[in-house]
């Protein structure tokens, strides 16, 4: 099953590389920027979690694993007393010193961080950092949150930016399970997979 999931990831990474390459003029992601790994829920399916954990445990040293384990315990403690667990947000436990300690094995949603997206209903959404002067900020109107024709005009030598269909819902659709022959399984916020016995069920 993990081999087939790996084939799907290879296919996905190739597609995403093309998308990122085409959006290069609008993207400012760089090493050390970890804002998209903070204060979010990080939806993760069972197979993503198994793949991530296997990869992480086989590729990191004891010290790194201890840090992540401590991060997980700390987050779960805060979650335990949170009033609204459904909306609970946290910094990803795999984030260490502004870098992903499981980068090669990260989840699907992490692979799309930074791209402008076209949602199921056709609505275009930009990454939150657009409004902090980062991705797509050179062409998006901060008030309307839409593409600004004036701003695009000032960059007339460039192609207009595009929103791709890379929503988590779409990328974990059963169409891909059927094509690549694996199951995503249950989906939930990443941290909930660390609640006792979650992966055993």
Contact of 21 with 164, CB cutoff 8 Å: no
Q: Report the C-alpha gap between 152 and 135 in whole angstroms.
A: 14
Question: What string marks each residue from 130 to 169 as x (binds ligand SF4 by CB under 6 A) or -?
Answer: ----xx----------------------------------
* CA distance to 131, 144, 156, 166, per residue, from 147 (Å): 13, 8, 14, 19
Judged by CB under 6 A, the residue of 72, 95, 124, 147 near ligand SF4 is 95
Q: Report the C-alpha gap between 76 and 47 in whole angstroms.
A: 21
Contact between 106 and ligand SF4 by CB under 6 A: the answer reads yes
Q: How far is the CB of 157 from ligand SF4 (least distance, A)?
A: 23
Specify the stretch interacting with ligand SF4 by CB under 6 A; choose among 73-81, 93-101, 168-176, 179-187. 93-101
Contact between 100 and ligand SF4 by CB under 6 A: the answer reads yes
Contact between 37 and ligand SF4 by CB under 6 A: the answer reads yes
Judged by CB under 6 A, the residue of 9, 110, 116, 139 near ligand SF4 is 110
Cβ-Cβ contacts under 8 Å for 45 (sequence gap 6 or more): 108, 172, 184, 185, 186, 187
Q: How many residues bind ligand SF4 (CB under 6 A)?
A: 21
Residue closer to ligand SF4 (CB basis): 33 or 147: 33
Q: How far is the CB of 166 from ligand SF4 (least distance, A)?
A: 13
Q: How far is the CB of 96 from ligand SF4 (least distance, A)?
A: 8
Contact of 68 with 96, CB cutoff 8 Å: yes
| Run of H or E residues at 188 | strand 187-189
Q: Report the C-alpha gap between 110 and 44 in whole angstroms.
A: 10
Q: Report the C-alpha gap between 122 and 165 in whole angstroms.
A: 9
Q: Which residues bind ligand SF4 (CB under 6 A)?
A: 28-29, 33, 35-37, 42, 92, 94-95, 100, 102, 106-107, 110, 113-114, 127, 129, 134-135
């Amino acid at each position: 099953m993990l081999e087939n999931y790996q084939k799907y990831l290879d296919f996905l990474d190739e597609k995403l590389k093309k998308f990122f390459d085409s959006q290069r003029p609008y993207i400012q992601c760089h090493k050390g920027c970890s804002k998209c790994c903070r204060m979010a829920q990080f939806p993760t399916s069972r197979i993503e979690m198994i793949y991530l954990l296997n990869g992480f445990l086989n590729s990191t040293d004891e010290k790194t694993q201890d840090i992540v384990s401590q991060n997980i315990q700390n987050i779960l403690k805060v979650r335990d007393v949170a009033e609204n667990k459904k909306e609970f947000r946290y910094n990803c436990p795999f984030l260490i010193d502004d870098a992903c300690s499981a980068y090669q094995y990260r989840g699907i949603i992490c692979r799309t961080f930074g791209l402008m997206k076209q949602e199921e209903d056709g609505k275009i959404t930009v990454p939150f950092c657009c409004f902090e002067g980062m991705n797509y900020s050179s062409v998006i109107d901060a008030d309307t949150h839409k593409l600004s024709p004036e701003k695009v005009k000032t960059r007339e030598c460039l192609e207009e930016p595009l929103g791709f269909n890379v929503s988590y819902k779409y990328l974990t659709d059963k169409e891909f399970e059927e094509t690549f022959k694996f199951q995503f399984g249950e989906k939930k916020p990443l941290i909930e997979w660390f609640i006792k016995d979650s992966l055993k069920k």
